[in-house]
Amino acid sequence: MMQTKNLQGECPHCGRVFEFQAEATGTTAGCPHCGQPTELMPLLPADPESPMPSKAVVFTVIALLILFGGLGGTLWALKRAKRITQHPPVAIGASPPSQPADPFAAAGFRASLVTLEKGQANSLVHAVGTITNTANRQRFAVRVELELQDEAGRKLGTATDYRPTLEPKSTWQFRALVVEKKTVTARIVAIKEDQ
Ligand SMILES: [Zn+2]
């Protein structure tokens, strides 16, 4: 006796699933659930010779192509948008990293850029620069705080210098000892005083 294969079909009347023999495909039989005459058609693409599965595959491939094509297009659009939005800040003309014009003006101080000075007799390094008292009053216990950075711009530590008094409109040439050996740049982050 020939090996029979059971397929699953769905009844169009009651919507329930039933099994039937593969040989009976295309014939009409009474639904085992509701008894209505039902054409026996496989629910799942089990028969490789049936045109249904290959059609389904083609549709799936098309759907995937649309999906990925759409995704690619979206990514491309995003990249483009990113490139566009990245432009303006550069175009506006941000100057290369430099000390803001007068960050301590409100406090009545003017700070210079800081340079590193290496001693000749020893290996001591000092961060040097100037701080000007732009106010018309004497300043007391003025302390400058510097942030030390390595080549990669990472913060290594701080250096400070101190001056007990600073006359009105006078300039103080500070020298802050730099302990961190890898220091490449130093910048003033704070100027404090006793009020
Ligand atoms: Zn039925």
Amino acid, single-letter form, for residue 1: M
Amino acid, single-letter form, for residue 57: V
Distance 5 CA to ligand 1 centre (A): 21
Instruction: Name the most confidently modeled range: 64-78, 79-93, 179-193.
Output: 179-193
Q: What percent of the chain lies above the pLDDT cut of 70?
A: 71
- Does this model's pTM top 0.85? My answer is no
- Residues 175, 161: contact at Cβ < 8 Å? yes
- Of the candidates 178, 181, 195, the one whose C-alpha atom is nearest the C-alpha of residue 129 is 178
Q: 67 pLDDT band (50/70/90 cuts)?
A: confident
Q: What is the spatial distance between Cα 127 and Cα 117, in angstroms, rounded to a whole number?
A: 6
Distance 19 CA to ligand 1 centre (A): 12
Distance 18 CA to ligand 1 centre (A): 8
Q: 91 pLDDT band (50/70/90 cuts)?
A: very low
pLDDT, residue 3, reads: 64
